Structure 1
Amino acid sequence: MGSEHTKVRAGIYVEKEILNQADGLLETANVRSRNEFVEEALKFYIGYLLAGKAEDYFLQSLSSVLIGTVQDSENRLARMDFKMAVELAKLSQVIAYTHDVDEESLNKLHAKCVNEVQRINGTIKSEDAYRYQKREV
């Protein structure tokens, strides 16, 4: 018999009611004695505690990975937003240069566009703008 299986005698104090419950569950636990019952109960509880630590570690690792993934996505979206804003600014400059639009008309157009984007929740369709400009709506 190896030293890892050596049993030692340990005296413990247990409430009478708990001991009576354990005695009533010996058959259900598939053990022959109180000693085996207590040993199996200790193994179970130790496993439960160790699993809790493993779960905490797993959750921390998962959280770390998710935070990194979200931050990478945010960075990619921010770079894409910047590139789109540059292209939109270039387009706006070209349109302003090639069309003679007075400031009052530009302010009205701005207000109309703000209302439109709010109404459609940012889902812009070129076809709708075309129909509006051709007065088909």
Structure 2
Amino acid sequence: MQEDNRIKVALRLDKTKLKEIDQVVKQENLGSRNAFIDEAIEFYMGYLLGSKNKYFPSAISNVIDGALKITEDRISRLLFKNTVELAMALNVIAYNFDIDDETLKKLRQQCVKEVKSTIGRINFEEIRKFQRNVEQ
């Protein structure tokens, strides 16, 4: 027989709480009130102590992983749609304008510089102003 390291302690509970515990014990097939209290204490200790418990952090981790997966899927779909639209626009532009390689190279350099300096926040009005200044 294994040595039991558990100590018997007295515990006072409200009758309503005790009934609720009994319902959960039965519903979750925990076996006993003692098993319920052990689980509850372990869970609450994990809550108080952070990631040192196996229950609480895994619950949070699962929720965060699920939310990140949903967000990742949404962003991926939006990027795909955006890339399709961009490909269409580029094809229309390439079809209608004959731009030499040197001009295209300079334009790419200018665009990389602009996107870096604005952290990707560019707008049509600013580009139009820039193009009008280039024409003059």
TM-score, normalised via structure 2 length: 0.61
Residue of structure 2 in register with 1:74 after alignment: 72
Give 1:100's aligned residue. Answer: 98
Superposed CA deviations along residues 72-118 of structure 1, whole A, max 9, x for unmatched, are 10111011101101110110010011111111101110111011100
Question: Aligned equivalents of 1:68 and 1:50: distance in 2?
Answer: 25
Q: Which has the larger radius of gyration?
A: 1
Residue-pair matches, total: 96
Q: Per-residue deviation at 1:39? A: 4.5
Alignment partner, residue 53 of structure 1: 43
- SS of 1:123's equivalent in the other structure is coil
Distance 1:96 1:80 in 2: 24
Q: Shift in Å at residue 52 of structure 1?
A: 3.2
SS of the residue 1:101 aligns to: coil
CA deviation after TM superposition for structure 1 residue 71, in Å: 1.0
Q: How much does 1:58 deviate? A: 2.8
Q: Distance in 1 between matches of 2:39 and 2:75?
A: 42
Residues 23-42 of structure 1 aligned to structure 2 (within 5 Å)? 39=9
Tell me the distance in 2 between the aligned counterparts of 1:89 and 1:59: 44
Which amino acid is the alignment partner of residue 74 of structure 1? E
CA distance in 2, matches of 1:80, 1:66: 21
Superposed structure 1 runs of 4+ greater than 2 Å apart: 46-56
What is the RMSD computed on CA atoms of the aligned residues? 2.7
* Unaligned ranges ≥5, structure 1: 1-37
Residue 129 of structure 1, aligned match among 122, 127, 130: 127
Could you state the TM-score of these two structures normalised by the residue count of structure 1? 0.60
